[in-house]
Amino acid sequence: MLKARFLQNIFLVIVSYVFYGWWDYRFCAFLLASSIVDFLVGRGLGKTEKPLFRKGLLLISLTFNLSILGFFKYWNFFTSSLNSALSSVGWHVDIITLNVILPVGISFYTFQGLSYSIDVYHRKMIPVKNLIDHLCYLSFFPQLVAGPIERATHLSPQVLAPRSFSSLLAVDGCRQMLWGFFKKMVIADNLSLIVDRAYAYPQYATGAQLTVATIAFAIQIYCDFSAYSDIAIGTARLFGFDLMQNFAFPYFSQSIAEFWRRWHISLSTWLRDYIYIPLGGSRVSPFRRSMNVMITFLASGVWHGASWTYVIWGGLHGALILLEKVWTSEQTLRVQDVPGGTSILPKPKVLLRMLFTFSLICFTWIFFRATSLSDAMLIIGKIVTETVRRSSVGSVSELLQASPFVQNSGVVALVVLLGSFILLEWLQRHQAHPLVIGHWRTYIRRIVYTILFWVTLYWGTWSTGQFVYFQF
């Protein structure tokens, strides 16, 4: 076992680059280049106090990182949009589109690298003196490709501090990893087949099928993305690192604003601290505040993908938050508070708020999941206009058969599985994750772990694709 911190960091850098290069070794070049540029910018910021030089160095980091991100992720989107716009006014210009591979997780490590440069510029931390330590910070493999998006002020000090193996952290990390594998393999992957079947050809799906598929996608993307965060956090604990919480039971939120305090917390707080607050935050006029909210959420949509559907998805969330502010001035719960209150059963008013908020979120997910804007409008039209028919139950049952779990165990078993999952999350919502059950009797804990382990092996889907957020 490596005891020297520097040797530990060298080992982590090596395994992280092997891990990242497993997809395509060429991806490592961009990760390395981004790391070196940010490291040199940080060193430069630490040696000068001249405002003009400091701004110039920060601009180098911003330009370099955002240029790489923009080229790989948005070049074809902007060129295609520009071609369409010019064609609509009679100008036929063929701007070249490129067939390039999007480096896995580029949005995540780009934002993490910018966090370092910006925080050093604002003197929130001192620059890292050793390149290996900075490479370790930016390439740390558990959260490299899908987050959480760590802040330099949180993760970098852990990279620089002495670390030793902790059995308590390791055991809890294994529990969280087990919960993550269960959510991904049993719930998310089974639901993904149902969603894909309806959303691939929405013109052939019924309104009832699309409604069920949309709800299924809401559960799928939560279980898929939060599962990766659980696995990343748990794996990091095996190496003595503490990554930030990325999800805090978001579907128990009573408003869209609260939802964004609980969903993808590392991204929402990044956008808040590096876009919303620098724009003026809420310390400006109501109109400027509204503009700041919309800019922040449109940036969130663009970050997720190069498509107008993602832009609309982000804009809808911004608009809903602004409408909530007009509709009620009542403060929603903070992420530190227990979602839905501390009672075993939610109060009727609280339950209605949660269901209404979940319904709004499901509506916005249509734009996130649909392959095109026309498909999204078609899906919404079918859901809204088609009435419930006698064949609805049959069509929904036919859709659910796309899942191997349903094929082997039946629709009722799927409903029981999802109900048990929601119930366990509700009962454990005051914990960091549902398997924080150290206060339970030992034999009960072992039964729970054993059941989850075998359920994951037996009903887990082994042939589906990668995590959803790998594409971002």
**Catalytic residue IDs:** 304
Residue 317's SS3 state is: helix
Task: From 68, 228, 181, 139, select the one nearest 435 (Cα to Cα).
Answer: 181
d(CA 177, CA 230): 6
d(CA 64, CA 110): 10
Q: List all residues 6 or more positions away from 211 whose beta carbon is below 8 Å from its beta carbon.
A: 383
d(CA 253, CA 255): 6
- The answer to whether the bond into 148 is cis (omega within 30° of 0) is yes
Dihedral angle computed from the Cα positions of residues 263, 246, 269 and 195, in that order, rounded to the nearest 10 degrees: -40
Any idea how long the chain is?
A: 472
Residue the block writes with tokens 């070196």: 36
Task: From 49, 181, 48, 42, select the one nearest 116 (Cα to Cα).
Answer: 42
Report helix, strand and coil shares of the chain as percent, to nearest 5: 70, 0, 30
Structural contact between residues 239 and 163, judged by C-beta atoms closer than 8 angstroms: yes
Backbone angles phi, psi at 323, to 5 degrees: -65, -40
Beta-carbon-side half-sphere exposure of residue 383 (alpha carbons within 13 Å): 20
d(CA 89, CA 82): 11
Residue 115's SS3 state is: helix
